[in-house]
Amino acid sequence: MKYRALTIGLLVPSLLSISSLAQAEEQNSAGYSYFNFGVENIDYQEFPANIPVESKSKVSNFVIRTGGLYAINQDFNFSIDAAASFAPEQSTEQWSNTETGEILQQNLVTLQNASTLVLVHYKFSSSWQVLAGGSFNEETFKRFNFEALSENVVDLSKYTVEESFSHIDVNVGVGYGSDLVQGQDDHLSVRAYVGLPVWSNTKNTSYPEAEWTDTSSMSWHLQARYSIAISNDFQIGAYASYGFIDRDEDTIYDTYNNFAGGNVAEATIPAAEVTVTSFGIELLWQL
């Protein structure tokens, strides 16, 4: 009887130890890293204040994404995602009169994006997560080869204009899907979140001394990925995303303007909308 009790007493801790080890191995298998190569389509529109004019342009670039999802404990994960335009293409931007439809000016343009997103994932169920974190973002454009198509438009053919819109956002949203890749037949995850700037800085080479710092813009993002296993540790799949940035106009006063050759009373960055859709193939792994 004592021997049986001793055997049971030794067996229970051993089983608990094995169970704990299995749980640890399961926890360690959560998460993954990835590399993604794809194409992004950027639609950019500006709406200058107080005049019936708007600009439209659309550019397609290659885009590279890399990052991963990593386990903190059974309730929390965190993710890091970095994306950047690669080998940007140039396209035509047109400026038109919104009242008459007349095209007033056109020019060549390149558009590029770069961002790093860090999120904490709280798993409130087996498949759903609350997301919170921050992101570092930069949208840039370059305009050149201006061509005036109306007598009322100033000839800017000798100028090149570059602008960068840098902002740090607070991001909140929800996620759905699995945090496992290793040993799985497939993987699905979806994220939806918004971004609210806490710091913003816009620079434009037409106004070399100026900086615009308004933080009233907002962004919306939707991302999804699906992959299938090619081995125990690797999966290959597809990725798609949609992003929309709504930037308000911002005005500063008494600053130098290259076109005028001197100071101007005020300089306004017009309201703008940026829509980015992206598709790509990717490799996921957990070693």
Domain residue spans of the chain = 2-285
Closest to 109 (Cα-Cα) out of 153, 38, 167, 45? 45
Determine the pLDDT at residue 12: 38
Closest to 264 (Cα-Cα) out of 214, 200, 208? 208
Determine the pLDDT at residue 158: 83
Determine the pLDDT at residue 280: 97
Closest to 81 (Cα-Cα) out of 210, 245, 193? 193
The answer to whether 86 and 63 are in contact (CB under 8 A) is: yes
Adjacent-strand bridge partners of 179: none
Determine the pLDDT at residue 16: 38
DSSP 94-137: EEEETTT--EEEEEEEEEEEEEEEEEEEEESSSSEEEEEEEEEE
Give the model confidence (pLDDT) of 214-235 as tens digits.
Answer: 998 999 999 999 999 999 999 9
Which stretches of the chain drop beneath a pLDDT of 70? 1-28
Determine the pLDDT at residue 121: 97
Q: Which fold has domain 2-285?
A: Lipocalin (2.40.128)
Q: Kindly report the number of other CB atoms within 10 A of residue 70's CB atom.
A: 15
Tokens of 162: 């570059």
The answer to whether 198 and 157 are in contact (CB under 8 A) is: no
Determine the pLDDT at residue 3: 39
Closest to 95 (Cα-Cα) out of 140, 146, 49? 146
DSSP 243-256: EEEEE--EEEEEEE
Q: Provide the 3-class DSSP secondary structure of residue 240.
A: strand
Instruction: Kindly list the distances between the CA atom of residue 40 and the CA atoms of 2, 93, 153, 192, 224, in Å, as whole numbers in the listed order.
Output: 72, 17, 32, 18, 15
